[in-house]
Amino acid sequence: MSISVLQRTQATQFAIAALLCLLLGTCQRVPSTLEQILTLGQLRVVTRNSPTAYYIGANGPEGPEYDLVRQFAHELGVALYIYTVPAFADIRSQLASGRAHLAAAGLTINDAWGDSVLFGPAYQQVRQHLIYKQGRAKPRSLQEINGSRLEITAGSPQAETLRLVRERLPTLAWVERRRGDSVELLGDVADRSIDYTIVDSTEFALGRNFHQEVRVGFDLMAGESIAWAMNSRDESLQHRVSNFFQRMTRGGQLTAILNRYYGRSNRFDYVGAREFIRDVQSLLPTYRKWFEEAAVKIGEDWRLIAAIGYQESRWDPDAVSPTGVRGLMMLTEDTAAHLGVPDRTDPYQSIIGGARYYASIRARIPARVPEPDRTWLALAAYNVGYGHLEDARILTQLHHRNPDSWQDVRAFLPLLAQEFWYTQTARGYARGWEPVRYVDNIRSYLDILEWVAADSGPTTAANQTHAHDAPAAVD
């Protein structure tokens, strides 16, 4: 599957032109959009690099729109070709020109599109939340908070809503921020830089996983409908899209996909010391010998591998994520195949494979990076992907901070979730707060393991500034 529009555009346009010439030359009618897709064997989808649509995760493409269109292409029996454009305004031209068969980019159904597009069925409702910080009195209305510092994103639907409200509440005042996005605004509410903000319900669902102190005061409007858009020249594709969403709704797959991205996530919540020690006593003895064996193979402290495994699955060999990542070390199917792991649910195979995967990532960290920073950077890359770690290190350097220092890089990783910053990086959006919490959690588990298992094994490399100056060997 391709993710770059430049790689196939000319070939695709030639194929379409050839197909049209052939059919017109034989006096046949122009094929419908659906017939073109089936004949070419490819569904071309335009989207945006966004947490609510499509982005590159640690293990490849992700995003709610990506998961949906991938399933739709599979049902059509064709390949998926998905590409991004920088702005919503560019989507209309992609559909009008025929370069894209379908737009799946978190689009709201409204009159601004005119008659140029057809929409599929609404599959999600987006509401506008007024956000406050936990600990404040819960606000009940805009009139109640009038006079407080309320900031929103300039040019957003929220700004238009507030202008409508001001017709009946003339003294209502707010600040429209021209730089930054909803994640940044949520952070400012969390640290009390501002009193309130207004964001879409989808943006809040994503941002609260990082800014856990923010809460919803009330909704400003009933909501807007999200749907896919198609060229209005024929309805053939619209019918298939409608049938697709009916099946996805009845079967529960649509709810599962939306919950995966917008449901409350506790994957990176820290398990308290008491619960962790209980699991050390009850679960670790079963797997410890395999953690030790894996550590020897890669020249690492077994306790670090054990801490990674606990963060990934709580040492549960039957763990599985909504994306199909599974096993004690939570390996993807592709990673397991690359590492020669035939059964991801076998705890021994998973531990050995996960250790080798960590070592392969760690070997990519520049050799000049000292310990313990090298270990922490490798763990961050294990979680978010090496490419996104490099983006964060570049941002760190651009701000005249040290890209080889974990303490400096961890401050810039969350910027990968802010549109102003991720649009300037090579790999775009990432859930940049996750690797920060991921590394913090593992360090906490590691500290406890070094205390409760201090009588065995070498001292962890992460606490030795002289260890591992050269890349770790991959067995």
| Residue whose structure tokens are 């005249």 | 400
436 CB-near residues (< 8 Å, 6+ apart): 380, 410, 413, 414
Helices 373-384 and 347-362: crossing angle in degrees, nearest 10, is: 120
Rounded to whole angstroms, the Cα distance separating 428 from 442 reads: 26
CA atoms within 13 A on the CB side of 62: 20
Q: What is the dihedral of CA 402, 403, 405, 411, to 10 degrees?
A: 90
Angle at 326 between CA 258 and CA 312, to 5 degrees: 90
Residue 350: closest CA among 316, 382, 380: 316
> Is 300 labeled as catalytic in the residue annotation?
no
Rounded to whole angstroms, the Cα distance separating 220 from 197 reads: 12
Burial state string for 70-108 with b = 16 or more CB within 10 A and e = fewer than 16 = bbbbeebebebbbbbbeeeeebbebbeeebbbbbbbbbb
Residue 100: closest CA among 13, 185, 11: 13
Beta-carbon count within 10 A of 272 CB:
10
Cβ 420 vs Cβ 181: under 8 Å: yes
Of 300, 312, 419, 450, which one is the catalytic site residue? 312
CA distance readout (Å), 13 to 83, 95, 136, 234, 237:
15, 14, 57, 19, 19
| Residue whose structure tokens are 């953690």 | 291
- Residues annotated as catalytic are 312
